[in-house]
Chains A and B, each alone.
Chain A
Amino acid sequence: MEAVLANLREWYQDRKQRLDLWDETQTARQDNPMYILGGLVWLSWMIVIVSGIVLMLWYIPTTTGAYRSIEHITYDIPFGWAVRGLHKYGGDMLITCITLRIYRMYFAGEYKKPGELTWMILFSALVLAMISGVTGYTLEWNQRAFWAAKVILTVPTYYDDIPLIGNLGLGHAIAYIFLGGPALGQGTLTRFYSIHFGISIVLAIVAETWFYRTRRRRLNVSAFVIVLVLAFLAFVSFINLPDLGQWANNNRTPLPVLSDWYFLALYQVVKYMPPLWAGVAPALLIGYGMLVPFLDRTKETLPTRRPFFFVVGLLALIYWIGFSALIMLNIAVISRDPPYIWGITVIVLFAALLWELAYRRRQAQRAAAAAAAPAGASRPAPRPAAS
Chain B
Amino acid sequence: MKLDRRGVLKALTAIPVVGALIAVLSPLFRFLKPNDKPWGIFTITPDLPQGGAQVVGKVSQLAKPWDSFYFTYVQKFVQYTPEGQEASNVPGVAIRLPKKVKFVNSEGFVGFEGETDIVLFSRICPHLGCIYNYVSDWHEVSAGYGGFRPPGFEEHALMACPCHFSIYDPEYPDNPGNVISGPAPRGARYFRFEVHGDDIVVTGAEVGAIAKCAPGAVAGAAAPPRET
A252 and B211 form a contact (CB under 8 A): no
B residues within 8 A CB of A190? Answer: 81
Point out which of B132, B164, B182 has the most chain A C-beta atoms below 10 A from its C-beta.
B164
B77 and A251 form a contact (CB under 8 A): no
- Taking CB atoms and an 8 Å cut-off, the chain A residues in 269-327 that contact chain B are 270-275, 278
B residues within 8 A CB of A172? Answer: 44, 46, 211, 213
Selected from A170, A251, A330, the residue in CB contact (under 8 A) with B42 is A170
- How far, in angstroms, from A332 to B90 measured CA to CA in the complex? 27
Which B positions have Cβ atoms within 8 angstroms of A?
1, 29, 32-33, 41-47, 49, 72, 77-81, 83, 86, 88-89, 91, 127-133, 144-148, 161-165, 181-185, 209-213
* Chain B interface, DSSP helix/strand/loop, else mixed: loop
- How far, in angstroms, from A175 to B45 measured CA to CA in the complex? 12
- How far, in angstroms, from A252 to B93 measured CA to CA in the complex? 12
- How far, in angstroms, from A252 to B161 measured CA to CA in the complex? 11
CB distance from A271 to the nearest CB of B (A): 4
Selected from B89, B132, B182, the residue in CB contact (under 8 A) with A334 is B182
Question: What would be 22 A-B contacts, judged by CB atoms less than 8 Å apart?
Answer: A1-B1, A154-B129, A157-B212, A173-B42, A175-B211, A176-B47, A176-B211, A181-B47, A182-B209, A183-B79, A183-B209, A185-B86, A186-B81, A253-B131, A253-B133, A255-B145, A255-B162, A272-B183, A275-B185, A333-B146, A333-B147, A334-B165
Number of residues of chain A lying within 8 A (CB) of chain B: 49
- How far, in angstroms, from A140 to B88 measured CA to CA in the complex? 20
- Interface status of A64 (Cβ within 8 A of chain B): no
A334 and B163 form a contact (CB under 8 A): no
CB distance from A187 to the nearest CB of B (A): 5
A168 with B148, Cβ < 8 A, contacts A154-B129, A177-B32 known: no
- Taking CB atoms and an 8 Å cut-off, the chain A residues in 223-254 that contact chain B are 250-254
- How far, in angstroms, from A155 to B163 measured CA to CA in the complex? 13
B183 and A186 form a contact (CB under 8 A): no
Which A positions have Cβ atoms within 8 angstroms of B?
1, 147, 150-151, 153-155, 157, 167-170, 172-173, 175-177, 179-187, 190, 250-257, 267, 270-275, 278, 330-335
Closest to A254 in B: B162
A residues within 8 A CB of B129? Answer: 150-151, 154
A residues within 8 A CB of B184? Answer: 275
Q: Told that A151-B163, A181-B86 touch, could you supply 19 new A-B pairs with CB distance under 8 A?
A: A151-B130, A151-B164, A168-B42, A169-B42, A173-B33, A176-B211, A180-B79, A183-B86, A183-B88, A185-B86, A251-B72, A253-B130, A253-B161, A253-B162, A257-B162, A273-B183, A278-B183, A332-B146, A334-B165
B163 and A253 form a contact (CB under 8 A): yes
A residues within 8 A CB of B46? Answer: 172, 182
B211 and A167 form a contact (CB under 8 A): no
B147 and A332 form a contact (CB under 8 A): yes
B211 and A271 form a contact (CB under 8 A): no
